[in-house]
Copies of this chain bind each other. A is one copy, B any other.
């Protein structure tokens, strides 16, 4: 089909550039050309519009490939359009986000019950195990059309999953661990500071992904080198010499140092070996120490993440989530 700049498309492109205070050059105007007869899909985050093409028995949608533009367009335009064509009525949904077990271990615990229902109600019962790294999600949907599980069958499965995931459940909502912790802090007017070594600022970065975070996350120190641990947090030279920077004593002094300096309700300190280098027989790659200090109690964790098989990036992300999940449990305990 020939390309045409339709009035709607020209308006879209013009508006997008006007919002950025940029002139509509000929190169930019070309973005408004879409195939003849196509229907425009608005792009709220970028300049290039998308479009639908109608075909016999099908409809094809074209979107820009950049995820930050494609995703909002899909959610705002494509998904609602598609649901109009294929209405999908759910009579029951449930969701569990867990942290701590692997996918296969978790699935093994619930597979027999799930498989029985999947077999009995192939068109209306849907169960999924998904990775939202480093969490594992379980999701359950019962559709309206056709023979479907009874209330009792659903209740039995739900009770079994609740019991199985008791120790590892993070939330029943689609929120990340940092988001759950951030909401807990903000909703209860609690403050947090952090002393990060191996994560290098990841925890601070992640908690400040949320707007308005300064009320909950006051700040922290990235004490990547030993000198920074001493200078910025007051960790004793002797502690580092006797126990090393990756040790229970070091993270405890780091947490005390940051909490004292910033006067927050809670403080987190992390120190570990993210790899790929730096591991020893005593402290292999993946070793992490976490200290959590609260108004009523303190807690120290020590773990070898993924048995030392994780990448640097995985080790750092898991370390942050380990720390924040431990903080979550402490806050819940403290709130009673």
Contact = CB atoms under 8 A, between A and B. Distances in A.
A213 interface: yes
B227 A218 contact: yes
A220 B219 contact: no
Nearest to A193: B228
Identify the interface centre among A194, A223, A275: most chain B CB within 10 Å of its CB. Answer: A223
26 contacts: A20-B306, A20-B307, A27-B108, A27-B111, A45-B311, A193-B228, A194-B222, A201-B203, A201-B205, A204-B204, A204-B222, A208-B222, A209-B312, A209-B313, A211-B277, A211-B312, A213-B224, A214-B225, A217-B225, A218-B228, A219-B221, A219-B224, A219-B229, A220-B228, A227-B263, A231-B262
B309 A20 contact: yes
Contacts of A231: 261-262
A100 to B, nearest CB: 15
Contact of A261 (B102, B196, B204, B232): B232
A184 interface: no
Given A205-B205, A225-B214, A261-B231, A108 B25 contact: yes
Contacts of A278: 211
Contacts of A201: 196, 200-206, 208, 220, 222
A317 to B, nearest CB: 11
Contact of A204 (B207, B214, B224, B274): B224
A336 to B, nearest CB: 27
